[in-house]
Amino acid sequence: MMDLAFSPAQQLLQQSARAFLQQRCPLERVQEVALDPRGFAADLWKEIAGLGWPGLLISPELGGSGGSVGEALALVEELGRACFPSPFVASAVVATTALGPAGGRRARDLLAALAMGERICTLAVPEESGRLDPEALTLPVAAPGRLTGRKLLVPDAHVATDVIVLGRGAAGPTALLLPMDRAGIGAHALDSMTGDKLFELELTDVAIGPDDLLGAPGGGWALLAPAFRLGALARCAEMAGAAQRILELCVEHARGRVQGGRPIGGYQAVQHACADLYRDVESARWLTWEAEWTLTTGRPDADAAVAAAKAYVAEASLRVARRGHQIMGAIGYCEEHPLHLFHKRILAASLDAGDSTGHLDTVATSLGLPRDRPA
Amino acid sequence: MDFGFSDGERAFADEVRAFLRAHPPEGFPPDGTDAGYGSGAHSHAFTRALGERGWLSLTWPREHGGQERPMGLLLVLLEELAAAGAPFGPLAGCLQVAESIIRNGSETLQREILPQIAAGRATFWQGYSEPGAGSDLLALETRARLERDHWVLDGRKIWSSHAGIATHGTVLARTDPASTRSRGLTMLMVDNRLPGLDVRPIRSLTGQVYHYEVFMDGVRVPRDFVMGRPGEGFGQLLRGLDTDRFWGRFYKAPFLRRILGLLVEHVRAERPDDAVARHRLAHAATEIAALRALFRRAAWLIERGLPATGEVSAAKVMADELGQRVLSLGMELLGPSGVLRAGSRGARLRGEIEHQYQTSWGHTLAGGTSEIQRTTIAVRALGLPAEPRARG
């Protein structure tokens, strides 16, 4: 019989994260960071580094805590519940996962610094098309050589100290690891409605040495794909956590808001909307954890399971956010009300680490319906 | 967290598959229609074959003739049977009645009925709904009065599935004439052969008979053919409600996965370049996967004896509404030929899609409507205030 209980380590992490975030990251703080175009909770990042969170997926030899994927997801679920604004998923999940197997002194030094919270690593992959797809890469990469071009939708470039750049080399997609203060790297803020800090990276005649290669030339996509897959799963956990919190906010509102002489939660129309939120939250959450199990036990269908989870959890969580606005009524339409923060966090997460069209493509192929069929 | 199967469960799944190879579903002509929940058609012979393997009493305590095997094996059995499209229609009803008899039944029922269930020789209809008591079950008017050593039963039940081909009914009746609402109700075990019982078929919109109306006119039920204590029938019904709903729907996810597989084969064969069909099938696959995860969560809670009311009601709502979406998609993908019935020239996928499309419209009504499930989730799982009852 399956066992769907959280491990003692997961429970400890969940409890300490929830207590810390309740105390140190109230929704007013989330709001403040979201509304500031260059917002970043530097103090909180320092504190979570003290708690060891950025080093959760980094091995103990490099100063991390060598935690499991399941522990990282349990933490990210709590981050989603709190709508915690940070580069955690980009740096501590996706970049960290890519750096581990890349090897080399630079990657190891960076991982040690990430574990201490001294550095933050972001990723520069999409270009004009916005697509997360090796076919869409055009930035020419040679090491040694000079790097000139643009990358779009780079998260948290204003606070990142390092960036993984994926471009097109002679041998195929090739990854570079560059410090953000390398001459010729400029970051320009994009104006996103989600409150996430997204940037255009402008690369102008940047000097690239052989040491800057991350992994083998031509091996960039193979290196990053597992990192994005884990990133997709982390975004599922974040969305499920945020959707759970929206449900709690809506139920609290429906219990307390009195109209026509009784709480609106006593009217069937509102009750049934809340019930639909519950269905979406529970199904999204357990599909996420099933995908986690599929991935961490190395099952052959892990790619399809993660893709199915990302597509479903995105749809279900967005449904929760959109229906939540209807339950919450006009007050939820105000900027000062937290509902839109969760809605936009879910929206951003739904588009990160592969959008639903791409993930459904993976699912369709796994069903025996490949995209390009022989004539 | 572990979503996997144990070695024992995997070995048991192999055993079930071997059984299905030896007992192919085609070899069992149905005695009753396939109602589309995923448990296939009603077949007495297949039910008896399951009984011969001991699979109808798999998890019962040994003192009642069971094998005391873990609930995980029952989940495996239902998933494997549903994936194969086997005709195990009566199974969920048998499981539910057996559980109730083991928990609440008189010694007579335990002695007389349990062995018949285990052998696949007893199947059941539910006598709950009445013409004037649907979602408001407590408005029921069926009555039973004790005359020496018999209950004398009068009333009328409706929407009782397979009542015409079952052996017994579990009938909820008011036994305390002074009582109102949830008090004074008793669950009686009624043998279909008793005089005074008149079971009449109701033809459904599928063109087939699944439901029956049952008229009871002075039916004399032996005094100890009672499930639980007289007067406590409703509390007992409520206690078993979550598990009844769970076992009545658990196989819907593997069933929908099987339907999806049929549609994938159809698209591969007949519209291989249809990118929209491909996208919609993938989307349905994600929803079916989420449904299965939700049922597995509910199963885990039930296995540990934890409350699962919200999870089970949410899974039922999702199963039944998703089923309607998947079968509607099926009708669209089959195109104009999709309406042709099994056996008709030009019929696609053996007419299964049109039949299950039609059955799907009953599922959001049966076993507690989707509206009742949503109210249950809101009030019992989320703690929202119950709507006041109308006076009168």
Percent of chain B with pLDDT over 90: 94
Give start and end residues of each alpha helix (H) in B123-251. 233-239, 241-247
Inter-chain contact B385–A265, Cβ cutoff 8 Å? yes
What is the distance between the alpha carbons of residues B379 and A251, in angstroms, rounded to a whole number? 11
Q: Mean per-residue pLDDT for A125-140?
A: 95
Domain boundaries, chain A: 8-115, 121-217, 221-366
Taking only the tens place, the pLDDT of each residue in A133-145 is 999 999 999 999 9
Cα gap B13→B20, rounded to integer Å = 11
Task: Write the residue in B273, B282, B310 that is nearest to A373 by C-beta.
Answer: B273
Cβ–Cβ contact A70 with B under 8 A: yes
CATH class, B125-231 region: mainly beta
Best residue of B3, B267, B325, B372 to probe chain A, by most A CBs closer than 10 Å: B3
Fold of B241-381: Butyryl-CoA Dehydrogenase, subunit A; domain 3 (1.20.140)
Long-range contacts of A9-12 (CB under 8 A, 24+ apart): A9/A67, A9/A68, A9/A71, A10/A70, A10/A71, A10/A74
- Sorting pLDDT into bands at 50, 70 and 90, what band is A328? very high
Nearest neighbour of B290 by CB, restricted to A284, A357, A373: A284
Fold of A221-366: Butyryl-CoA Dehydrogenase, subunit A; domain 3 (1.20.140)
Of A251, A289, A292, the CB nearest to B382: A251
Check if the beta carbon of residue B6 is closer than 8 Å to that of residue B72. yes
Please count the CA atoms within 13 angstroms of the CA of B374 that sit on its side-chain side.
23
Quick one: DSSP state of residue B214? E
| Overall pTM surpassing 0.90 (yes/no) | yes
Q: Which residues contact B26 (CB under 8 A, 6 or more apart)?
A: none
Query: What residues of A are in contact with residue B294 (Cβ under 8 Å)?
Result: 279, 282-283, 286-287
Portion of chain A with pLDDT greater than 90, in percent = 96
Residues 316-335 of B with CB under 8 A from A: 317-318
Q: Name the minimum distance, in Å, from the CA of A369 to any CA of chain B.
A: 7
| Nearest chain B alpha carbon to A248 | B382
Residues on chain A touching B313 (C-beta within 8 angstroms) = 275
Within 8 A of B260 by CB-CB distance, chain A residues are 367
Burial A116-145 (b: 16+ CB within 10 A, else e): bbebbbbbbbbbeeebbebeebebebebee
Question: Which among A283, A292, A373 is the top mutation candidate for probing chain B, defined by the most B β-carbons within 10 Å of its own β-carbon?
Answer: A283
Q: Residue B279: is it exposed, middle or buried by C-beta count within 10 angstroms (0-12/13-18/19+)?
A: middle
The share of chain A scoring above pLDDT 70, in percent, equals: 99
pLDDT of residue A373: 53
A262 interfaces chain B, CB cutoff of 8 Å: yes
> Which residues of B, range 246-265, sit inside 8 Å of A by Cβ?
260, 264
Q: Nearest to residue B252, comparing CAs of B162, B327, B190, B344?
A: B327
Task: Report B:262-291 residues touching A (Cβ under 8 A).
Answer: 264, 267-268, 272-273, 278-279, 281-283, 285-287, 289-291
CB B354 within 8 A of CB B343: no
Q: What would the mean pLDDT of B111-138 be, rounded to a whole number?
A: 96
* pLDDT tens-digit series, residues B344-369: 999 999 999 999 999 999 999 999 99
Q: Is the pLDDT of residue A375 over 50?
A: no
Does B385 sit within 8 Å of A255, measured CB to CB? yes
Query: H-helix or E-strand containing B301?
Result: helix B275-303
Q: What's the CA gap between B367 and A200, in Å, rounded? A: 56
Question: CATH topology for A8-115?
Answer: Butyryl-Coa Dehydrogenase, subunit A; domain 1 (1.10.540)
Structure tokens at B244: 């009844």
Same fold, A8-115 and A221-366: no
In this structure, is the dihedral angle defined by the CA atoms of residues A81, A82, A85 and A89, taken in order, positive or negative?
negative
Which of these, A92, A97, A98, lies nearest to A118 by C-alpha position? A92
CATH architecture of the domain covering B7-122: Orthogonal Bundle (1.10)
CATH number for the domain running over A121-217: 2.40.110.10
CB contacts < 8 A, A to B, total 166
Q: Where are the domains of chain B?
A: 7-122, 125-231, 241-381
Q: Shortest Cα distance from B383 to chain A (angstroms)?
A: 8
